Amino acid sequence: MARMLENQVAIVTGAGRGIGAATAKLLAEHGAKVVVSDLDAAPAESVVAEITAAGGEAVAFAGDVTDPAFPDALMQKCIETYGKLNVLVNNAGYTWDGMLHKMSDKQFQAMLDVHNVAPFRLIRAAGPYMREASKAEKSAGRDPEPRCIINVSSTSGVHGNVGQINYSTAKSGILGMTKTVAKEWGAFGIRCNAVAFGLIETRLTQDAESGEKIAVAGEEVTLGMPGHLKGMATMLIPLARPGTPQDAAGAILLLASPYASYITAHCLDVTGGLNA
């Protein structure tokens, strides 16, 4: 298959595991140099090692996307290492489920912080290397380089979901952000799209009883979903199976590729047909 991102540089947040890791590997396979960023340094380093072993180029950068100092530091790492930025994938995230009547302010705010505030700050921090860079290229009479942003949303953000008032609100908010960025930066040739994933097999959707936790913002949050709910959701998927991280990464590559050159302000459902 032709390499679609030759000479491009990508940042993928939350790229130490799951969808982000598969995305970093696929973008690298298509020629992009990738900044593999994650809260956890060790998994990010091992994704870099896999990319390098396969002949690609990547560098790891660890940190919490909700730290206000993180976006500038990440951009600095990208520019120091590779000199430019073409593709920004805002993927880092987690769930902290609970029914509305029992949800604390902290629990609600944490989802806005990771799924809305962090992507906003990251896009703003990318401004000099995306908006300003494209503007300068246009002023010099050149076609701007391909540049795009892909924000990760969820079927919960599009349709709502029981037990996820915080997550669904935030994953809906990222859709408004996506369309606004597309409208503000479209004149510079920068595309901004979202992907709304359904049920993808990762740590986030494993059996909650397995007890995996994420330690973030001074909290230990249990991840996963009840096994019986997963079985029920799978029965409603027309393709009759959950998605793989590779299915999810394919959709992100599609939107980053030259074949999506006229697609912007769009939310692509990647659900195997669920909720269609």
Ligand X SMILES: NC(=O)c1ccc[n+]([C@@H]2O[C@H](COP(=O)([O-])OP(=O)(O)OC[C@H]3O[C@@H](n4cnc5c(N)ncnc54)[C@H](O)[C@@H]3O)[C@@H](O)[C@H]2O)c1
Q: Residue 71 interacts with ligand X (CB under 6 A)? A: no
Residues 45, 50, 57, 64: which binds ligand X (CB under 6 A)? Answer: 64
Among the listed ranges 4-12, 16-24, 28-36, 122-130, the one in contact with ligand X (CB under 6 A) is 16-24
Q: Residue 199 interacts with ligand X (CB under 6 A)? A: yes
CA angle at residue 66 from 60 to 67, to 5 degrees? 80
Q: Residue 168 interacts with ligand X (CB under 6 A)? A: no
Residues 35, 85, 125, 152: which binds ligand X (CB under 6 A)? Answer: 152
**CA–CA separation, 4 and 216 (whole Å):** 35
The DSSP call for residue 90 is: E
CA angle at residue 190 from 10 to 245, to 5 degrees? 40
Length in residues, the chain: 276
For residues 186 and 227, which CB has a smaller minimum distance to ligand X in the complex?
A: 227
Q: Residue 17 interacts with ligand X (CB under 6 A)? A: yes
Give residues with Cβ within 8 angstroms of 2, minimum separation 6. Answer: none
Beta bridge partners of 195: 152, 268
Q: Does residue 82 have an active-site annotation?
A: no
The tally of CA atoms less than 13 A away on the side-chain side of residue 3 is: 13
**Helices (H) then strands (E): counts for the chain:** 10, 9
* Total of residues contacting ligand X (CB under 6 A): 29
Closest CA to 26 of 37, 14, 38, 15: 15
Q: Residue 77 interacts with ligand X (CB under 6 A)? A: no
Using CB under 6 A, which residues numbered 210 to 229 contact ligand X? 216
Residues 11, 16, 148, 150: which binds ligand X (CB under 6 A)? Answer: 16
Q: Residue 85 interacts with ligand X (CB under 6 A)? A: no
Residues 4, 11, 18, 163: which binds ligand X (CB under 6 A)? Answer: 18
Give residues with Cβ within 8 angstroms of 33, minimum separation 6. Answer: 8, 9, 10, 56, 57, 58, 59, 81, 82
Q: Which of 94, 129, 167, 259 is catalytic?
A: 167
Q: Residue 165 interacts with ligand X (CB under 6 A)? A: no
Provide the minimum distance between the beta carbon of 226 and ligand X in the complex, in angstroms, as a whole number.
Answer: 14
Catalytic residues: 167
Site residues for ligand X per CB under 6 A: 13-14, 16-20, 38-40, 43, 64-66, 91-94, 114, 152, 154, 197, 199-200, 202-205, 216
